[in-house]
Amino acid sequence: MAGLMLLASSLQAAADLRVCNKTSSTIGLAIGYKMKGEWISEGWWNIDQNKCETVLKGVLVNNRYLIHAIDYDKGGQWNGEAFMCTQDLEFKIKGTHECVARGFERTGFFEIDTAGKQDYTVQLTDQE
C-alpha cells in the first residue's frame, strides 16, 4: 500500500516473533507460518499505535513467515503475493488451498525472511 512502509530488525531479546506498530493508527494483524510441513494462518491481533505484540513465542524454527496487516483508522493494508486463508473473526486455519471453497477469504500476505535468526521484530510504519 502506498503510504506505508515495513521495517524489520533482529533484536537481542527473547526468542520470539514480535510485530511493532509504529504508525499513528490501530492495526489488525494476521500471520502465516509453517508447522510440521503445513502452512497455518492465524489472526487477528489488534495492535495500538506505538505498541508491540509477540505473535509467536519461543525460538523461531523457520526462516520464512508471512504477515498481513490492516490499518483500521486510515484504511489500507500491508499485503503481498503469498496467499493464505483468513476470516473476519479470530481464526487459526490449516492449509492454503481452496480458501473460498472452504468458507474463508483468500488474502495476500508479504514474506518476512528472518535469515535464520531465533528472534525477530517487524516494525510497521507510516511512510514519511
User: What cell numbers appear for 31 in the block?
Assistant: 500471520
Q: Vertex 13, ends 7 and 16: CA angle to 5°?
A: 70
**Mean of the per-residue pLDDT values of the chain:** 88
Closest CA to 69 of 45, 90, 97: 45
CB count within 10 Å of CB 31 equals 23
pLDDT tens digits, one per residue of 22-36: 999 999 999 999 999
Give pTM, 2 decimals: 0.85
pLDDT tens digits, one per residue of 48-78: 999 999 999 988 888 899 999 999 999 889 9
- pLDDT band of residue 115 (cuts 50, 70, 90) is confident
- pLDDT band of residue 39 (cuts 50, 70, 90) is very high
Predicted local distance difference test score (pLDDT) of residue 3 = 39
Spatial CB neighbours of 52, under 8 Å, sequence gap ≥ 6: 18, 19, 20, 21, 121
